[in-house]
Structure 1
Amino acid sequence: MNTQDVILGLLCKEPRSGYDIKQHFEQYFSFFFDASYGTIYPTLTKMEGLELITKESIRQEGKPDKNVYTVTEKGKEHFREYLERAAEPELLRSDFLMHLYFGDMADPEAMNGIIRRALEEKKRMYDDLEDKYRKLDSVTGPYQKLCMELGLVQYKAFIVKLEEMLGKSGD
């Protein structure tokens, strides 16, 4: 999975500006995929060069022109091919898990602090995602709902295990 494929998927649903794409990343994908403006806009430029998308500049009064991107037939075909390929194996990169792995070499109080902060962050992320999940509308498909449900399950598992660990350490 790469940023290009994710953007194509969004544009297959509806035309969007770069800003709209970034907002969707933040609102719906933040727990499993991220992309900055510094990634999104160069990717859009590349996709336009590959004729996967087109760009339309829309004049706005008192503001810079708004560029709206639309997927082409070639882009739709490219995205269909992506969807029909087997998913790549997942690679979880986590600085927190590296801290835990080597935690026996650190001061126990420092590790408890790291775990407490991670626990609070996971709780916040769980609450944010749960709030977004509750606000889903009736047009949200079953696969989009499943993505969010899987995210909630992952956050909950982290929370349970971190609380268990803190309970064992007497914290």
Structure 2
Amino acid sequence: MSIKFAILGILSSKPLTGYDLKKIIQESPFMYWSGNNNQIYKSLVELLDEGLVTNEVRHQESSPSKKIYTITKEGLAELKEWVISSPEPPECKKPFLIQLAWADQLQPDELNTLLSGYENQIRMQILLQKEQQRRGTFSPARTSREVYLWDMIQENVISSYENELTWLEKIRKVIDSDCKEKTNGMNYRVIEKNEKKYIECFSAETPIQWEQDVLNLIAACGENNTNLLLIHSEAVAEDLFKLKTGIAGMILQKLVNYHVKTAVVLQEELKITGKFKELLAESKKGNDFRVFNNTAEAENWLIN
């Protein structure tokens, strides 16, 4: 579709300057052109040459002169002929779909970041469209039917974004379910005490040792509306306590980044030496992560 028909349509409501046309097109939720000066004025020149619009210069004493464009009878006829023509099939121009097509190469947390970023953009668009709807964007409003049609256009735009959110939720359900099937089979329960709720992870078929393992626990916290986590050392790979790699630090950082308050309960027979012993001493100063020798102390710190 040519931008010329959008210009003719707008001018059918009243005469306007090129600047006014540019502003209406740029603020419109469904007129998808950029509305830059070159695009607008090039089309206006073509419409003038075709006799579909006229213009006149209006001089102002205290302001620069204005060039006002008005649609002609021929322009109105051209517009109507286009309006009653067969509609073009809707176009699907979504760069995100191309990104998603090759997203299988991403790690679960990377895919989650991609989905979350797009989801945030969609939510922002919904807020923007609803705000524009509240303030009232350009609408000819010449008849009650025209008012209704323009309201329905606005509703169509908003519902398309809302449908996109529903579609994203569907993706997340399947991806999250698939992710759980591939996890370590962690055993946890939801504990409620003193009007507080926390996740207690007491064992795992394969001990926690990777970043994704802790992301699964963070997801479990989110699903149960809590940011409190208690982990028994039986569920954790022993190598993590030796701090031989940077994975332990990465796991702790994830818990902090997601604002999950975490208590770890150590087995009595677990020998703590070296850097992890230093970490224990340091953890006693923090409010995000601490290590305890028994569940009662860990729980007391966690929920108070």
Aligned to 2:85: 85
Q: Measure, in 1, the Cα distance between the counterparts of 2:127 and 2:7.
A: 26
Aligned to 2:58: 58
Aligned to 1:36: 35
Identity %: 23
1:130-149 counterparts in 2 under 5 A? 130-136=130-136, 139=141, 141-149=147-155
Aligned to 1:126: 126
Larger RCO (CA under 8 A, 6+ residues apart): 1
Matched AA of 1:122:
I
Q: Measure, in 1, the Cα distance between the counterparts of 2:42 and 2:107.
A: 44
Aligned to 1:155: 161
| Kept in 2: contact 1:3–1:35 (CA 8 A) | no
In the alignment, does 2:9 pair up with 1:9?
A: yes
Larger mean CA deviation between 5-14 and 94-103 belongs to 94-103
Give the SS at the match of 2:65.
strand
Matched AA of 1:96:
F
1:111 shift after superposition? 3.0
CA separation of 1:32 and 1:10: change in aligned 2, threshold 3 A: closer
Q: Measure, in 2, the Cα distance between the counterparts of 1:124 and 1:151.
A: 13
Structure exhibiting the larger radius of gyration computed from Cα positions: 2
Give the SS at the match of 2:59.
strand
CA-to-aligned-CA distance 1:94-122 (integer Å, 9 cap, x gap): 11111112211334433322221211111
Count of residues in Structure 1 that have an aligned counterpart in Structure 2: 170
Give the SS at the match of 1:51.
coil
Larger mean CA deviation between 54-63 and 86-95 belongs to 54-63
| Kept in 1: contact 2:22–2:35 (CA 8 A) | yes
Larger mean CA deviation between 55-64 and 79-88 belongs to 55-64
CA separation of 1:164 and 1:67: change in aligned 2, threshold 3 A: same
Give the SS at the match of 2:56.
strand
Aligned to 1:111: 111
In the alignment, structure 1 segments of 5+ residues that lack a partner are none
In the alignment, structure 2 segments of 5+ residues that lack a partner are 177-218, 223-304
Matched AA of 2:34:
A
1:62 shift after superposition? 4.9
